[in-house]
Amino acid sequence: MTSARGHQGTLEAHPFFERSRWQRARAPVVIFLLALAVFAAFTGPRATRPSPNSHFVLLAEAFLDGRVELGETPPHENDWSSYSTLTLASGQELRGIWWDRGARKFLDLRGHLYVIDASDMRGSHEDRHFFVSFPPGPAVLMMPGVAVWGRGFNDVAFTLLFAALNVALAYVLFRRAILGGRTRLRGGDAAWLAVLLGFGTAHFWCAVQGGVWFTALIIGATFTLLYILASLDARSPFWAGVWLACAFATRTPLLFSVVFFAAFFLFPGGRLRQDWGVRFWRDGVAFAITPLIVGCLLMWANYVRYESLGEFGHRYLAGGQIDRIKDYGLFNVHWLSRNLTAALALVPKFLPEAPYVQVSKHGLAIWFTTPSVLFLAAQRRAATPADRLWRWATAATIAVIAVPHLFYQNTGWVQFGYRFAVDYFAYVVLLLALGARGSSLLFKLSVVVGVAINGFGAVTFDRAGQYYADWMLED
State what percent of residues in the chain have pLDDT above 70: 95
Write the pLDDT tens digit of every residue in 80-139. 999 999 999 999 999 999 999 999 999 999 999 999 999 999 889 999 999 999 999 999
Residue 61's pLDDT is 97
Residue 474's pLDDT is 59
User: Does residue 5 register a pLDDT over 50?
Assistant: no
Write the pLDDT tens digit of every residue in 205-223. 999 999 999 999 999 999 9
User: Does residue 475 register a pLDDT over 60?
Assistant: no
393: Cβ–Cβ under 8 A, 6 or more apart, which residues? 259, 260, 263, 264
User: Does residue 258 register a pLDDT over 70?
Assistant: yes
User: Does residue 8 register a pLDDT over 60?
Assistant: no
Q: What angle is formed at CA 300 by the lines to CA 297 and CA 303, rounded to 5 degrees?
A: 155
**Average confidence (pLDDT) over 436-459:** 95
**Average confidence (pLDDT) over 52-81:** 95
**Average confidence (pLDDT) over 382-406:** 95
Mean pLDDT of the chain: 93
Residue 3's pLDDT is 36
User: Does residue 11 register a pLDDT over 80?
Assistant: no
User: Does residue 439 register a pLDDT over 90?
Assistant: no
**Average confidence (pLDDT) over 49-66:** 96
Of 3-12, 134-143, 292-301, 322-331, give the lowest mean pLDDT range. 3-12
441 exposed, middle or buried (CB, 10 Å; 0-12, 13-18, 19+)?
Answer: exposed
Write the pLDDT tens digit of every residue in 270-324. 999 999 999 999 999 999 999 999 999 999 999 999 999 999 999 999 999 999 9
2 exposed, middle or buried (CB, 10 Å; 0-12, 13-18, 19+)?
Answer: exposed
Residue 13's pLDDT is 54
Four-CA torsion 26, 29, 33, 38, nearest 10 degrees: 100
Task: Say if pTM beats, i.e. exceeds, 0.85.
Answer: yes
Q: Are strands 468-469 and 357-360 parallel, antiparallel or unpaired?
A: parallel
C-alpha–C-alpha distance, residues 307 and 282, integer Å: 35
Residue 85's pLDDT is 96
State what percent of residues in the chain have pLDDT above 90: 88
Task: Report H helices in 208-317.
Answer: 212-231, 237-248, 258-266, 278-306
**Average confidence (pLDDT) over 372-397:** 94
